[in-house]
Amino acid sequence: MTAGIYLSRAKYSVLIIDEGTIGGQVIMSHKIANYPGVEEATGYQLARTMKRQAKEFGCDILPNAVITGIELDTAIKSLDVEGRSMYASRSIIIATGGHPRTLGLESEERFRGKGISYCATCDGDFFQDQDILVVGGGNSALEEAVSLTQYARTVTIVHQFDHFQAYPHAVDEARLNEKITFIMESEVVDFLGGESLEGAVIRDKKSGAKREIAAGGAFIFIGYIPNSDRFSGIIQVNEHGEILTNEALETNLAGVFAAGDVRRKKVRQITTAVSDGTRAAVSAIDFLRAIDSPREIEIPAMQAALYR
């Protein structure tokens, strides 16, 4: 949305296509307190404001799109969208973000949506007065564990290391919360229950000893995987699936840029995603100004919308 705002203000026609809900991962944040100029807001509120700005500046927005085809290694880039025919442009910015990393357990898949969740904001209120398990040790895990205490009777954080990767203020806030307890140097190896989640098996990584703990809900925050599969073999990615870019956020394909969590970067925060959107848009503007003036592109036998 940031890229769209900058491009539309530069008088380019902009289409934002999203395979889900506009806003990405920020929507799942219960509270945002470190976005400069915004003292406190939910992720949904911040995303809604950005969406309104993008639309007011002239961006067209297409949510819940099913992309069935993509061509990026030509002068005119194109996207096939189910039920919408085809869209073409001279430049494209890939900002597809990431999706939650899972533990990879069979029982995890079985209880997904039946006690196991990856979004505290979305599902926290389903677990009123229950014992909740949180898996992870980064900022998301600790911050969301704190937010879950407004619903839960208790929250137990399980982390595989003897220390957290979160910022000190997030660690302090979690440690000071009376509802939160910690199981360190341990991992979840199985989830238990019948129709819905009832507990988990925890293994001590030092001794190998296992124990069962009761839990009506489990929230897993162990990182994200870039949503780059559809670009495999087209755009250069690293061993983690992150799209490779230079400082101008250019990929290996002319006119194709990448921004946000889908690209290789060290810091993944809302502020760095917004920064990426700005840089990618400015680079796209430079690219478009460097080539011939945009002209109508005829695509035989197709109802194509040209976005330049």
Q: What is the average per-residue pLDDT within 2-9?
A: 96
Q: How many domains does one find in the chain? A: 2
Assess whether 119 and 177 both reside in one domain.
Answer: yes
CA distances to 21, 52, 167, 233 from 37, rounded to whole Å, are 25, 18, 21, 41
Q: What is the mean pLDDT of the chain?
A: 90
Assess whether 199 and 237 both reside in one domain.
Answer: no
- Give 141-201 as a DSSP string: HHHHHHHHTTT-SEEEEE-SSSS--S-HHHHHHHHT-TTEEEE-SEEEEEEEESSSEEEEE
Sign of CA dihedral 80, 84, 88, 89: negative
Does residue 295 register a pLDDT over 70? no
Assess whether 202 and 298 both reside in one domain.
Answer: no
pLDDT at 292: 56
CA distance 277 to 258: 9
Does residue 306 register a pLDDT over 70? no
Q: What is the average per-residue pLDDT within 69-80?
A: 93
Assess whether 48 and 85 both reside in one domain.
Answer: yes
Assess whether 180 and 257 both reside in one domain.
Answer: no
Nearest to 91 by CA among 292, 255, 306, 283: 255
C-alpha gyration radius of the chain: 22
Assess whether 202 and 242 both reside in one domain.
Answer: no
Assess whether 202 and 300 both reside in one domain.
Answer: no
Please say whether the beta carbons of 220 and 138 come within 8 A: no
Assess whether 132 and 273 both reside in one domain.
Answer: no
Last residue of a domain, one of 197, 220, 243: 220
Sign of CA dihedral 26, 30, 32, 38: positive
Q: How many CA atoms lie within 13 A of 54 on its CB side?
A: 25
Burial of 176 (0-12, 13-18, 19+ CB in 10 A): exposed
Assess whether 297 and 249 both reside in one domain.
Answer: yes
Does residue 294 register a pLDDT over 60? no
Any residues with CB less than 8 A from the CB of 175 and at least 6 apart, and which?
A: 182
Assess whether 107 and 213 both reside in one domain.
Answer: yes
pLDDT at 304: 39
Domain span at residue 257 reads 2-99+224-307
CA distance 273 to 3: 10
Last residue of a domain, one of 220, 235, 262: 220
Any residues with CB less than 8 A from the CB of 52 and at least 6 apart, and which?
A: none
pLDDT at 293: 58
DSSP helix/strand/coil, 230: helix
Does residue 297 register a pLDDT over 70? no
Last residue of a domain, one of 152, 186, 220: 220
Q: C-alpha 133: how far from its chain's center?
A: 22
CATH assignment of the domain containing 279: 3.50.50.60
pLDDT, tens digit, 9 for 90 and up, residues 88-136? 999 999 999 988 899 999 999 999 989 999 888 778 888 999 999 999 9
Assess whether 200 and 186 both reside in one domain.
Answer: yes
For residue 19, which amino acid is it? E
Q: Nearest 5°: phi and psi at 90?
A: -85, -15
pLDDT, tens digit, 9 for 90 and up, residues 141-170? 999 999 999 999 999 999 999 999 999 999
Q: What is the average per-residue pLDDT within 46-56?
A: 94
